Structure 1
Amino acid sequence: MSIPTEPIGSIPRPPALLAALAEHAEGRLSEADLTKLQEEATVETLAKLESLGCPVLVDGEQAKSSFVTYPLAGLSTLGSQGAVIPFADGHTRQLPVLTGGPFRYQVRAESYLRGAQRHTERPVKQAVIAPSALSLLYPSEPIDGYAREAFLRDLADEAEADIRGCLDAGAHCVQLDFTEGRLSLKLDPSGGVLDAFIDINNEVLGRFTEAERARLGVHTCPGGDQDSTHSLDVDYAELLPKLFQLKVGNFYVQLASEADPDRVLSIIAEQLRPGIRVFVGVTDPIDPRVETPEEVRDRVLNAARYIPADQLGTSDDCGFSPFADDTSTSRDLAFAKIKARVEGTALASQALGL
């Protein structure tokens, strides 16, 4: 069996879709027309990934406004002054803030999955936002009549339903995006916020059977937006031991952009347990240079020195455009890097005799 390789999620949107999103925001394009263009972009994305030989596909998040906020579209109990995420280049992203309850997802990831499955026979992976990220929606001051404890119960129920819907729809894997994990250590070096995030996520993950958790995964990275990160300067050694406490069968770990990948791999090796697989990042979406298949091969072979081949997989470090308006990476560049990942992983499998 060869080493498995999977994308993380987002692919840059085509120019026509980007223009349509702007027109829709200005009220000059109907919801129906935007939906049609999003579906066309999804079909094009799936076909391109198939042509590159990807064994597992994603829809590229062509219909999501962002990897974080898709469940919130249409939610009326939101304000604009939520948590601010600072990036190294000085730009920020701001989450909305909850103004009332009960909290309910307005959109479930299952809808994106089923939309993609209509256009391919290959396995489709579905990314969902981790409940820990959405826990940041609750304001610092209590909401009258809706305590934080009640919100967290509702959030856990909604996140479970989001994941379970994808599993029931036949997702190859459901990946929780957990970029806030590394960021939490920058905001709170004591690790208290990270511990709370792990507990929130495990409350949900613990509701699934062992067989179901084998199809669940978690993705960690230092953020990747407009060619910048929010927490690359945070020591992975502070995150990884706690990350591997999460009750999933698959871990997707950004690695290609790390300054000392061997140190990270040695930490991962210490956290390995039977029954899990670690997908290491072998392409860097922020780097404008396209990795060669041989470079990817060598990264995989190096990872195999620390992680047994039957527990090893490859991925991109993170999504290529997690926010719909991020145009810092071109669509062609993303596909070129994915092609290098697929071909380089195959070369490594051959070198390992798999």
Structure 2
Amino acid sequence: MSIPTEPIGSLPRPPALHNALRDHASGRLSTAELKQVQDQAVAETLARLEELGCPVLVDGDQAKPSSITYPLQGLTTLAPDGVVIPYDDGHARQLPRLTAGPFRYQVRADTYLRAALKHSDAPVKQAVVAPSALSLLYPAAGIAGYTRKAFLNDLANESEAEIRACLDAGAASVQLDFTEARLALKLDPTGGILDDFISLNNEVLGRFSEKERARLGVHTCPGADQDSTHSLDTDYADLLPKLFQLKAGNFYLQLASEPEPERVLKLIATHLPSDARVFIGVTDPVDPRVETAEEVRDRILEAAGIIPVGQLGTCDDAGFSPWADDTSTSRDVSFAKIEARVRGTALASQALGL
């Protein structure tokens, strides 16, 4: 059996979709017309991934405004002045602020999954936002008549319902995007914020059976937006022991852009639970250069010398376009990197006699 390989989630939107999003925002395109363009982009994305030989597909988040805010589409109890996420190149993303409860998802990711499954019979993974990310919506000053405790309970219930809906709809696996993990340590080196995030995510993951958790995974990276990161300078040594406390069967970790990959691999080997699989990043979406299949192979072989092969998989470091307006990496470059990952993983599997 060869080493498994999977994409993370988002891919750049095609020009037609960018144009449609702009026209919809200005009122020149109806919601129904926008959905038609999004559906076409999903179908094209799945077809191209299949052509590249990807054993597991994703819809590329083509219909999501971002990998974080998609559940909020249509929610009226929001203000624009929420938490700011600063990136190393100076740009920032700002989340909305919740102004009233109760909190309910307006869109669940199974709607994207069901749409994708109409276009392919291949296994499709569905990425969902981790509840820890959405916990940032609640303001530090509180909300009159709606406590933080009540909000977190509602949030956990909504997250559980979304994950169950994706499993029931036929997802090959469900991946929680936990990009904020390293950022939490950068903002609070004491680890208090990260501990809260881990606790909340485990509250949700712990509601699933062992069999179900084998289909659940957690992805973390230092961010990948507009060719910049927000927490690459945060040491993995401070994160991995806590990250691997999460009750998931699979972990997807950025590694290709790490300055000391061997050190990180040894940390992974030390802390990885015996019943979990780790997918290591072998392509870097932030780097415009396309890796060769041979480079990918060599990265995997290095990992296989440190991590048990039976617990090893490969992935991209991160999604290629987690925010819909990110055009920093072209669609063709993204697919070329994915092809290098798929081919390089096959080469490594052959070299290992799998």
Quick check: 1:276 aligned with 2:280?
A: no
Residue in structure 2 matched with residue 166 of structure 1 by the alignment: 166
Question: Deviation digits for residues 240-293 of structure 1, max 9, x if unmatched?
Answer: 110000000000000000000001001000012221000000000111111000
SS at structure 2 position matched to 1:24: helix
Runs of 4+ in 1 over 6 A off after TM superposition: none
Asked if structure 1 preserves the Cα contact closer than 8 Å seen for 2:251 and 2:279, the reply is yes
SS at structure 1 position matched to 2:279: strand
SS at structure 2 position matched to 1:353: coil
SS at structure 2 position matched to 1:33: helix
Structure 2 gaps of 5+ residues are: none
Residue in structure 2 matched with residue 314 of structure 1 by the alignment: 314
Residue in structure 2 matched with residue 226 of structure 1 by the alignment: 226
Residue in structure 2 matched with residue 196 of structure 1 by the alignment: 196
Amino acid corresponding to residue 264 of structure 1 in structure 2: V
Deviation at residue 305 of structure 1 after TM alignment: 1.0
Amino acid corresponding to residue 49 of structure 1 in structure 2: L
SS at structure 1 position matched to 2:326: coil
Q: How does 1:148-187 map to 2 (within 5 A)?
A: 148-187=148-187
Quick check: 1:250 aligned with 2:253?
A: no
Amino acid corresponding to residue 302 of structure 2 in structure 1: N
Whole-angstrom distance in 1 between the partners of 2:233 and 2:26: 38
Deviation at residue 27 of structure 1 after TM alignment: 1.4
Quick check: 1:102 aligned with 2:102?
A: yes
Whole-angstrom distance in 2 between the partners of 1:320 and 1:57: 14
SS at structure 2 position matched to 1:270: helix
Residue in structure 2 matched with residue 292 of structure 1 by the alignment: 292
Question: Deviation digits for residues 5-62 of structure 1, max 9, x if unmatched?
Answer: 0000001000010011111111111101100000000000000000000000000000
Whole-angstrom distance in 1 between the partners of 2:82 and 2:212: 33
Q: How does 1:8-23 map to 2 (within 5 A)?
A: 8-23=8-23
Between the two proteins, the alignment pairs up a number of residues equal to 354
SS at structure 1 position matched to 2:278: strand
Deviation at residue 68 of structure 1 after TM alignment: 0.1
Whole-angstrom distance in 2 between the partners of 1:193 and 1:286: 26
Question: Deviation digits for residues 96-118 of structure 1, max 9, x if unmatched?
Answer: 00000000000000000011001
SS at structure 2 position matched to 1:234: coil
SS at structure 1 position matched to 2:128: strand
Whole-angstrom distance in 2 between the partners of 1:135 and 1:95: 11
Amino acid corresponding to residue 283 of structure 2 in structure 1: T
Amino acid corresponding to residue 228 of structure 2 in structure 1: S
SS at structure 2 position matched to 1:150: helix
Whole-angstrom distance in 1 between the partners of 2:278 and 2:349: 15
SS at structure 2 position matched to 1:219: strand
Residue in structure 2 matched with residue 209 of structure 1 by the alignment: 209
SS at structure 2 position matched to 1:167: helix
Residue in structure 2 matched with residue 53 of structure 1 by the alignment: 53
Structure 1 gaps of 5+ residues are: none
Residue in structure 2 matched with residue 121 of structure 1 by the alignment: 121
Deviation at residue 306 of structure 1 after TM alignment: 1.2
Whole-angstrom distance in 2 between the partners of 1:38 and 1:272: 38
Quick check: 1:81 aligned with 2:81?
A: yes
Whole-angstrom distance in 2 between the partners of 1:42 and 1:169: 17
Asked if structure 1 preserves the Cα contact closer than 8 Å seen for 2:244 and 2:273, the reply is no
Residue in structure 1 matched with residue 140 of structure 2 by the alignment: 140
Whole-angstrom distance in 1 between the partners of 2:190 and 2:275: 30
Question: Deviation digits for residues 68-103 of structure 1, max 9, x if unmatched?
Answer: 001000001000000000000000000000000000
Question: Please, what TM-score do these two structures have when normalized by structure 1?
Answer: 1.00
Amino acid corresponding to residue 129 of structure 1 in structure 2: V
Whole-angstrom distance in 1 between the partners of 2:77 and 2:273: 42
Amino acid corresponding to residue 93 of structure 2 in structure 1: R
Residue in structure 1 matched with residue 27 of structure 2 by the alignment: 27
- Pairwise CA RMSD: 0.5
Identity in percent: 73
Whole-angstrom distance in 1 between the partners of 2:256 and 2:273: 23
Question: Please, what TM-score do these two structures have when normalized by structure 2?
Answer: 1.00
Amino acid corresponding to residue 82 of structure 1 in structure 2: G
Amino acid corresponding to residue 129 of structure 2 in structure 1: I
Amino acid corresponding to residue 13 of structure 2 in structure 1: R
Residue in structure 2 matched with residue 240 of structure 1 by the alignment: 240
Residue in structure 1 matched with residue 130 of structure 2 by the alignment: 130
SS at structure 2 position matched to 1:46: helix
Whole-angstrom distance in 2 between the partners of 1:162 and 1:240: 26
Question: Deviation digits for residues 180-235 of structure 1, max 9, x if unmatched?
Answer: 00000110010000000000000000000000000000000000000000000111
